[in-house]
Structure 1
């Protein structure tokens, strides 16, 4: 049962990485066409309701304050980072879905490189979000290594896990 739960976590993690990669790709493209003033205006509009309810709302004020200090260069850097990160994640997920076992070492390497960057970010600019993402990525790397070591393709894991989940629901 432990193996099936880990398989399920791996599959959910891959799905999350794909959705996250798509969101990063879309956000990166949008950031290429947004000026700092428009971004500030959008942040103000998005948080206006919450700030009207609670002028001291931590998250809303962090968003507005963070966007207020953005320069064009930092927006371009963020856009390029998100584009590269999103493309790599989507490429990994697509290759896993196609069934290429050869992608596992590449996936672990790419995620490992992102993990190193995230650890650097944690040391230089600590944040709860980056800490959570780093732990999540470390777990996904370990699960990917586990899957690769077992010699299975994603679709094999998918079929076995889906069958296990539905058999389990019927039995309980």
Structure 2
């Protein structure tokens, strides 16, 4: 079940990456303003709505392209690995760990320049996923080893 959920998440990442490539930063800012407008009218100091509105206004084309590339490449790699996992290919476990480790290293490198909280969230999420993959790989190897 968890592998199927990983696959669904990978598909969502791919779709999100493609949509992010296709949508302009102005459109994103407009959508966020529409979604936060009523909350900010009700409470101009609302932390979440203010943060989202400010972040959308400052969302650069370079950031948008990075996140679109990240989501699409991350999703495609995860789809490949999910196919390997579903077919019972043991190579997919260490390959997943290497791929996620590489993504995390790049995210930390990019964070050193951008200081984007989103990169920290992605890195923490990938670390959790890596831990889960490691645990699953240990279990699978234990059941296969005589």
**What residue is the counterpart of 2:126 in the other structure?**
137
Structure 2 residue ranges without an equivalent (≥5) = none
CA RMSD in angstroms, aligned pairs only: 2.8
Give the structure 1 partner of residue 54 of structure 2.
65
Which protein has greater RCO, CA pairs closer than 8 Å, 6+ apart? 1
User: CA separation of 1:139/1:74 partners in 2, compared to 1, >3 Å: closer, same or farther?
Assistant: closer
Decide whether aligned partners of structure 1 residues 70 and 85 sit closer, same or farther in structure 2, where only a CA change above 3 A counts: same
How much has 1:109 moved relative to structure 2?
0.5
Tell me the TM-score normalised to structure 1 length: 0.66
For residues 124-168 of structure 1, what are the alpha-carbon distances to aligned partners after superposition, in whole Å with 9 as ceiling and x for unaligned?
5263x6545434433432342343344449xx8xxxxxxxxxxxx
TM-score normalised by the chain length of structure 2: 0.76
1:36 maps to 25
CA spacing shift, 1:55–1:74, aligned 2, 3 Å = same
Separation of aligned partners in 1, 2:98 and 2:52: 32
Look at both structures and tell me which one has the larger radius of gyration over its CA atoms.
1
For 1:93, the equivalent position in structure 2 comes to 82
Distance 1:32 1:132 in 2: 21
